[in-house]
Structure 1
Amino acid sequence: MFYSIRTQLIAIIVMLIVPFVLMGYLFWNQAATALRESIETTTVQTMNQYADFVESATSQIVNTANQILRSDMTQDWIRSRMDNEDAAKEIQQNIRMRKYFDSVVSNSPIILSVNLFHERWDLWNLEGGDYLETDWYANYRNHGIRWTDSHIDARQNGIYLNRKNVNSLVYPLSDLMNLSEEGMLKINIQTSALQEPLDKLVLGKTGKAFLIAPDGVPILNQKPDAFPDALMEKIRSLADDETKGTRIFRDDERRSIYFYQRMETTGWVVVGTVSEKELFQEITRARQNVIWVAALLFIVAVSLTFWFSSRIANPISRIVRSMKFVEEGDFFKGNAIMARKKIKQNEIGFLTANYLDMVKRLKTYIETEFAQNLRRRNAEYKALLLQINPHFLNNTLEVITSLAAQGRNEDIEQVVNDLSLMLRSSLRMDTELISVRDEIGTIRAFTSILSVCYGNRVQFEIVDGHVSDSIQIPKLLLQPLIENAVKYSLGIVEVAIVSIRIEETDEELTVVIKDNGLGIPEEVLKELKTAAELNFPQDVLNIGEKGIGFKNVIARGRIYYGSRFTVEIRTAANQGTEITMIIPNKR
């Protein structure tokens, strides 16, 4: 019998673990593939974001150049140069153009300076044709290249500007009446404005991103390593490809991955390079760990099978069968299974005797605890509800005091009526629930009080759809969240907009509260999400010191609905917060 049990257990363990390991390995391969694609997708999105930024900045510069060219002031200046007006008028025209360029620079955060070149003369430095010897001018005049790489422009408005590296758009100036070219417009942007966001791109730990021309020449102050010839051929072919977005090129010889995308406005190409091993090293390490853990689990399982076989299996099996009935609440059948065999005087017998004693005490405990839980839940709920009433009442009385000081009697009457409606609901301690319709009425009274207090600085949108009158929820469940939404929006934006949307399905009630305010700081958000995942009300209230109103809502929901009550938070800095509550339907 000893060897039979051991053999069977070993066979079972092998049949269970080997398929599990194989399935785990196959699953991991699929997961690893999905993770690789996810990492590549994330990297592509990062590159796209930078490309969109550069495209937006350069498009803005092109639009500015077109605006300058089409302006009446520029056209008047061009015609005055063509008509060879006297020196006094020419000076006046130059002064007006300088003021105009200053206004253009001040109205555009991306533009560093604007200059106008005509023959051996420019607007800010007047005489001098040394710019005719510069690379940017030669590239423009000989090859038609309007967008320059990084360089020092010594002919800007101010010595401190002349020391900064800039990239520029060189744009022809022409009389729109006869389309004759009369000089050039040069709009400079600081190189660091393009390079700093590029340097912040995260490609693994040592990966880098570069902004280059189609021939591989760096546009910024960067010195990239030589790119593979096959990659450069693909980059040069981008000019004939209308497909947008970031592409991926794998160099098997260097074991590297390249991400590249062409800018439509400038023709520049952003290229990111990272070692394939480095990009996916966490996946490789995790795969090795999975294999080692699977092998270790197999060895441990077989060893434990030898150890726990023989006379242990049957008594434990009876205990397990008994526990299943006890788990279902059938203590009679659980005890009946254990009573079939005589308890022996050994370790297993000691375990069995203590198990039976435990079942007996557990039965008594459950019967006692059930009654106590009913009383405790009612007491905890009322205690949480009482935390809200004084806080809200104090704030409302302060509003009434302020209105009285201002002599706003009609507003006082409105606030008192709304407060009366809310107090009639919240101070009734003989019931824990309120219909959703009544709760919506309470919310409208609450938002009315806030609207009187803050006037046009706050705006509420309440959408309740077709909610059944028979659905009930804990009263004042939504008020703390609405109050927080106003608190962290008011004064942050010109008009604080708080929307409350309530939707009903057969199974649940969905409540979405959204604001356009500051958003929740990362540290506080982490604490609130942790609270939302806890199942015991007291644990929810005891975690951290922030978000008391939010945690009060979670605790009350846990008391009444348990783990079926869920809360999800979406937030972003300076983009507001959205809180979604899923409340099981109780009619």
Structure 2
Amino acid sequence: MFFSLKSRLIALIIVLFVLSFGTLSFLLFAESRAVIRSYIESSALEKMEEYGSYIDMVQMQIYDAASLVFNSDMAKSWDNALSDPQLSEGEKMLANLAMSRFLTQATNSYTSISDVSIYRLNGLRIGAENQVTNDPAFLQESWYTNFFASGDRWLSAHTDEHERVRDHGNPVVSLLMPIGTFHHATARNVMKVNVSESYFLEPLSRIHLAKNSTIFLLNEQGQPILSQKAHELGTRAVSQIDLIRKSTPKSGVEYLSNDEGKRDIMVYKKLGRTGWMLVGLAPEKEMYSSLHKLQTTTLVVTIAVIFLSLCAAAWLSYGVTKPLTRLVLAMRQVQRGAFDQAESLLPPDQNVKSEISYVVSTFRYMILRLRQHIQNEFELKLLRQQAEYKALLMQINPHFMFNTLELVSSLAMQRRTDDTVQVIEDLGKMMRYSMHTNDDLVSLAEELAYVRHYISILQTRFGPKLEISIEESGGLDRLIIVKFILQPLIENAVKYSFQHQATAQVHIRIIRLDQRLQIQIKDNGPGMPQEIISRLQDPQAVTSQLEPILRNSGWHIGLGNVIARCRLHYGSLFAIHITNGDAQGTCIELILPVQEDNHVQRIDRR
């Protein structure tokens, strides 16, 4: 019975589902705790890293603002002015106001700074925005006395009754620094840099380790810096934090029991600039609550999927195996070339109700298209060559116009009126000729007339520096050639002949020899690299790269274009020879089959 595809399909689906879901369930519930734990740890540490970088940025702005005031000449001048007994009170007041303006500038230079103030031993306070007060009350403030006693420089979140201009009485975190000395005990002036607590709390509120998690920002003594409304750390957490401070790792994850006997996850990161520390606490039970829901859901889904898979396997096997058998027989007939027999073996479309109907219909359509393709292959090839030829032809016309317009612009700037008129007349005749893009072939006489107009423009531009001659022989009256194949070659010859000498010499020779037309263009330029010559003379290198030729803007675009067009039209009857002279110069020789009127379509290009 297992030789039947239907039976094997059902048995295979049963085995695969039972083994896959059974193995998946075992591995999922055996390793899920470790995976979730690893994810929680890495995610929490990543969030801590992001917030730690933000704290470092805010601290850097605070230190920069403090350093700006500490090292400024304004602070030194102000301190000297207030210490000078010979200055009047008015002069000292002016010094105070100047110092206030400087503090205003320092405050405005940093977005996170709320206020910068200076407190003096005599009870004087100077703040930003012209705040100059003499109130010795701050001398009794705890933060002021602690600074002189122990050198505590960082103040946790607090409200400053003396500074309400920018923070409007909201809690601030402050940095204290002496001015005029590096030792806190000998300082006469104390600088206080305030940062609104919201700068720390706002990004912190967007970090959630869990639903009931809390992240604390602790100072060097392990005390919270921010006034967060959350449960306290607890005695066990505080003890663990003290151990972490003495350890080497800068970040990590710890598991500990809280005061209620439940397990918490502690994520910490040390901030190296100030000795601060980020500590996040979250209940472990909350982290794994989704695991139990996943266990139940997976079991229910597994049973349902296995049952539905068995039903689907029985239904699909019948709808797939029968039409596939007939499709295989039809394919064997196609392989032998018997298209009629193959089509008769295909099942009727109306009898197939599954996705196989699309396969059968597509295969039947493929047979029909394959017949048509074999019949039309040669015609499509000719049409494709004609389209490529049209694309190459359209590429040349702008090339003529833009180069000539630049010449007209140059003549007009030189006020050469007669020459300008002559060039415009020649250009008009050239454009009238080039606008007939429907004509793939033109008479040689028309092409030579077009070339002579172009040469007239060049001689107007270069004068005696350019020598161009045209030699014709062999009965050229009724000959026709591919349009626009002479001008690009002449342009390249003139252009590169002027690169290494003051004069350019170009000789054009057109000769008919029996059934061959030879077009030869010589110049006195620097010669063409042998690598380029080999590539241009290779028939496969040009005809197989028509698209790069259309996009190319290099020096050989004109020559490559001409060769590609000639190969498209003449096929193997076309030949090109490129040689460099012994001293200098390049000779390009095109060999074309002779075509006369009324014989254009009879050329055998093989």
- What TM-score do the two structures reach when normalised by structure 1? 0.52
Structure 2 counterpart of 1:99, one-letter code:
R
Do 2:213 and 2:281's aligned partners in 1 also have CA atoms closer than 8 Å?
A: yes
Moved more, 125-134 or 274-283: 274-283
1:191 counterpart (192, 197, 201): 197
2:113 counterpart (111, 118, 140): 111
SS in 2 for 1:270: strand
- What is the distance in 1 between the residues matched to 2:96 and 2:371? 95
2:52 paired with 1:51: yes
Do 1:174 and 1:181's aligned partners in 2 also have CA atoms closer than 8 Å?
A: yes
Q: Aligned residue pairs: how many?
A: 397
SS in 2 for 1:112: strand
1:62 shift after superposition: 2.1
- What is the distance in 2 between the residues matched to 1:477 and 1:165? 70
Structure 2 counterpart of 1:187, one-letter code:
V
The CA deviation string for residues 188-222 of structure 1, in whole angstroms up to 9 with x for no partner, is 11221222122223445554433233555432231
2:383 paired with 1:363: no
1:130 counterpart (119, 133, 137): 137
Map 1:128-527 onto structure 2 (within 5 A).
128-156=135-163, 159=165, 161-175=167-181, 180-204=186-210, 207-213=213-219, 217-241=223-247, 243-244=249-250, 246-251=251-256, 254=262, 256-276=264-284, 289-303=297-311, 315=322, 318-319=325-326, 321=328, 330=335, 359-365=363-369
The CA deviation string for residues 315-351 of structure 1, in whole angstroms up to 9 with x for no partner, is 466357558879xx7486999999999x9xx989999
- What is the distance in 1 between the residues matched to 2:303 and 2:204? 44
Distance 1:187 1:354, change over 3 A: closer
SS in 2 for 1:258: strand
Structure 2 counterpart of 1:232, one-letter code:
V
Do 1:247 and 1:261's aligned partners in 2 also have CA atoms closer than 8 Å?
A: yes
Q: Which residue of 2 aligns with 1:19?
A: 19
Q: Which residue of 2 aligns with 1:95?
A: 97
SS in 1 for 2:302: helix
Structure 1 counterpart of 2:62, one-letter code:
I
Do 1:203 and 1:274's aligned partners in 2 also have CA atoms closer than 8 Å?
A: yes
Can you give the 5+ residue segments of structure 2 that lack an aligned partner in the other structure? 127-131, 415-433, 441-534, 552-606
SS in 1 for 2:156: coil
1:298 shift after superposition: 2.2
The CA deviation string for residues 344-386 of structure 1, in whole angstroms up to 9 with x for no partner, is xx989999999978754442156558979x89x99xx99xx9x
Do 1:112 and 1:188's aligned partners in 2 also have CA atoms closer than 8 Å?
A: yes
Structure 2 counterpart of 1:97, one-letter code:
M
SS in 2 for 1:318: helix
SS in 1 for 2:155: coil
- What is the distance in 2 between the residues matched to 1:263 and 1:154? 30
- What is the distance in 2 between the residues matched to 1:285 and 1:339? 57
The CA deviation string for residues 238-288 of structure 1, in whole angstroms up to 9 with x for no partner, is 5444543x4223346645433222323333322334455655666765665
Distance 1:362 1:240, change over 3 A: same
Structure 2 counterpart of 1:248, one-letter code:
V
Distance 1:349 1:163, change over 3 A: closer
Do 1:325 and 1:334's aligned partners in 2 also have CA atoms closer than 8 Å?
A: no
Superposition RMSD on alpha carbons, in Å? 5.6
Do 1:174 and 1:180's aligned partners in 2 also have CA atoms closer than 8 Å?
A: no
Distance 1:79 1:147, change over 3 A: same
Q: Which residue of 1 aligns with 2:582?
A: none
1:302 shift after superposition: 3.6
- What is the distance in 2 between the residues matched to 1:132 and 1:360? 98
Q: Report the identity percentage.
A: 19
The CA deviation string for residues 59-108 of structure 1, in whole angstroms up to 9 with x for no partner, is 23223323322333323433455554544343333233222212211222
- What is the distance in 2 between the residues matched to 1:175 and 1:270? 32
Structure 2 counterpart of 1:267, one-letter code:
G
The CA deviation string for residues 470-490 of structure 1, in whole angstroms up to 9 with x for no partner, is 896978999xxxxxxxxxxxx
1:26 shift after superposition: 6.5
- What is the distance in 2 between the residues matched to 1:350 and 1:177? 88
- What is the distance in 1 between the residues matched to 2:338 and 2:290? 51
Structure 1 counterpart of 2:52, one-letter code:
A
Structure 1 counterpart of 2:158, one-letter code:
H
- What TM-score do the two structures reach when normalised by structure 2? 0.51
1:236 shift after superposition: 2.7
Distance 1:315 1:171, change over 3 A: same
- What is the distance in 1 between the residues matched to 2:281 and 2:222? 14
- What is the distance in 2 between the residues matched to 1:474 and 1:26? 58
1:121 shift after superposition: 1.0
Can you give the 5+ residue segments of structure 1 that lack an aligned partner in the other structure? 410-423, 431-467, 479-587
Distance 1:185 1:333, change over 3 A: farther
Distance 1:304 1:336, change over 3 A: farther
Q: Which residue of 1 aligns with 2:467?
A: none
Structure 2 counterpart of 1:260, one-letter code:
Y
Do 2:123 and 2:139's aligned partners in 1 also have CA atoms closer than 8 Å?
A: no
- What is the distance in 1 between the residues matched to 2:275 and 2:14? 62
Structure 2 counterpart of 1:95, one-letter code:
L
Do 2:123 and 2:134's aligned partners in 1 also have CA atoms closer than 8 Å?
A: yes
**Larger Rg computed on CA atoms:** 2
Do 1:140 and 1:146's aligned partners in 2 also have CA atoms closer than 8 Å?
A: yes
Q: Which residue of 2 aligns with 1:73?
A: 74
1:187 shift after superposition: 0.9
Do 2:45 and 2:267's aligned partners in 1 also have CA atoms closer than 8 Å?
A: yes
Do 2:171 and 2:196's aligned partners in 1 also have CA atoms closer than 8 Å?
A: yes
1:314 shift after superposition: 6.9
SS in 2 for 1:105: helix
Do 1:211 and 1:219's aligned partners in 2 also have CA atoms closer than 8 Å?
A: yes
Do 1:136 and 1:148's aligned partners in 2 also have CA atoms closer than 8 Å?
A: yes
Distance 1:369 1:336, change over 3 A: closer
- What is the distance in 2 between the residues matched to 1:163 and 1:307? 75
Do 1:211 and 1:268's aligned partners in 2 also have CA atoms closer than 8 Å?
A: yes
The CA deviation string for residues 98-134 of structure 1, in whole angstroms up to 9 with x for no partner, is 2221221122222221111122513335322322343
The CA deviation string for residues 125-168 of structure 1, in whole angstroms up to 9 with x for no partner, is 53223223434335434443211111222223x64545232111
1:44 shift after superposition: 2.2
Q: Which residue of 2 aligns with 1:539?
A: none
Distance 1:192 1:359, change over 3 A: closer
